[in-house]
Amino acid sequence: MYRSAERKFSGRPNPDLVAEAAELPPGRVLDLGCGEGGDALWLAGRGWRVTAVDISGTALARGAEDARRAGLDDRIDWLHRDLTSALPDGPFDLVSSHYLYLPDRMPVREVLRPAAGLVAPGGVFLVGWHGAPPAWAPEHHHEMGSLTPDEVLAQLDLPAGEWRLLLADTRLHGMPHPEGRLALRADQVLKLRRAADEDRSGRIV
């Protein structure tokens, strides 16, 4: 995906990350499937210590170069890793995943469920993913399907009493239409907070 000379993304952070993390106090953050590093650089610029992980060495090299140019290279650790095989050591105050996919599906059980276990007590787990694609989208977009927030929560199977649901939302984002105009796509966002050690009772509510 990243091997061509051209960058695949804008370099800007995902808007849902900006909306949901802007008011969080900086700490340690794990950026799952960081790509070319738009989210990682934004987080580092706000004082976070970032562990950015991706399977593409090309994307990581681009992100690292951008971090160097921005003077943020000392705040980001770039890890070349298959997330289905091993995750970095936690804990993290924020675990963030936006549009992370295997070739045919969203890796909830393979990656996101174990990643939730890396969230520190009191920390936040933030996940964004594509909603149902429009009819004219490429065929492989339809093959991946689209999960609802309830379906993702069910697959995460988080321990009762340890998590509070802060947000389960559908948001409209722009995507290019084949005719050259901008179209809208409904995407999903899920935000949970892990209970502090002294406050673990009840269920996910």
Write out pLDDT tens, residues 6-48.
Answer: 555 457 899 999 999 999 999 999 999 999 999 999 999 999 9
Tokens of 130: 């594509």
CB of 128 closer than 8 Å to CB of 100? no
d(CA 74, CA 12): 20
The pLDDT value recorded for residue 145 is 55
Nearest to 90 by CA among 48, 133, 119: 119
Distances (CA, A) of 146 to 35, 51, 53, 99, 129: 21, 28, 24, 11, 8
The domains located in the chain, with CATH, are 15-194 (3.40.50.150)
The pLDDT value recorded for residue 179 is 59
The pLDDT value recorded for residue 62 is 96
Give the HSE-up count for residue 133: Cα atoms under 13 Å, Cβ half-sphere: 14
pLDDT, tens digit, 9 for 90 and up, residues 68-122: 999 999 999 999 999 999 999 999 999 999 999 876 678 999 999 999 999 999 9
CB atoms within 10 A of CB 198: 6
pLDDT, tens digit, 9 for 90 and up, residues 141-162: 544 457 889 999 999 999 989 9
What's the whole-model pTM score? Answer: 0.85
Q: At what angle do helices 57-70 and 38-45 cross, to 10 degrees?
A: 30
**179 in helix, strand or coil?**
coil
Q: Which residue has the higher pLDDT, 68 or 187?
A: 68
